[in-house]
Every structure is written in structure tokens, then in C-alpha cells.
């Protein structure tokens, strides 16, 4: 399933490194999430969504409501 991490990160105009700093991950980990090579935990989905100011369900791709 395609997630929206990259789309939301770019809309927020922050780099992978900046997002990683906010949620406590490396830029490489963010890159793996964006490419679908790794899947965030539920808690990490929530942290990413909060950092990107969107609904976790939107970020995962389950809904179109931000």
C-alpha cells in the first residue's frame, strides 16, 4: 500500500532529516518508510501524522480526509 509520508513532508517543506529529528528517527529510516521498504509502528504513524499535521489514517492511505 502506498503511504503519503513523502507527499505530506514535501507539502510541509521539510527534509527527511528534519522530519526524522522531529519524530526521533534518521533520515534513512524516513526514506525507507517513504519507499515502502519498512512499515512504521502504530505509534510511529501517530508521531509522523502529528509532525505533518494530518490524520494518521490519511497518512497511511486509508482515507482522503486530512
Q: How far apart are CA 38 and CA 53, in angstroms?
A: 22
Confidence band (pLDDT; 50, 70, 90) for 65?
A: confident
Question: Could you give all domains of the chain from N- to C-terminal order, each with its CATH number?
Answer: 5-60 (1.10.260.40)
pLDDT digits (tens, 9 = 90+) for 2-58: 789 999 999 999 999 999 999 999 999 999 999 999 999 999 999 999 999 999 999
Residues counted in the chain: 66
Q: Output the pLDDT for position 26.
A: 97
Which residues, other chains included, contact 30 with Cβ-Cβ below 8 Å and sequence gap of 6+? 5, 9, 16, 17, 19, 20
Amino acid at each position: 500500500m502506498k503511504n503519503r509520508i513523502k507527499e505530506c513532508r514535501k507539502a510541509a517543506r521539510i527534509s527527511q532529516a528534519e522530519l526524522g529529528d522531529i519524530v526521533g528517527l534518521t533520515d534513512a529510516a524516513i526514506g525507507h518508510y517513504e519507499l515502502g521498504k519498512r512499515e512504521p509502528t502504530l505509534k510511529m504513524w501517530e508521531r509522523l501524522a502529528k509532525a505533518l499535521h494530518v490524520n494518521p489514517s490519511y497518512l497511511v492511505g486509508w482515507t482522503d480526509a486530512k
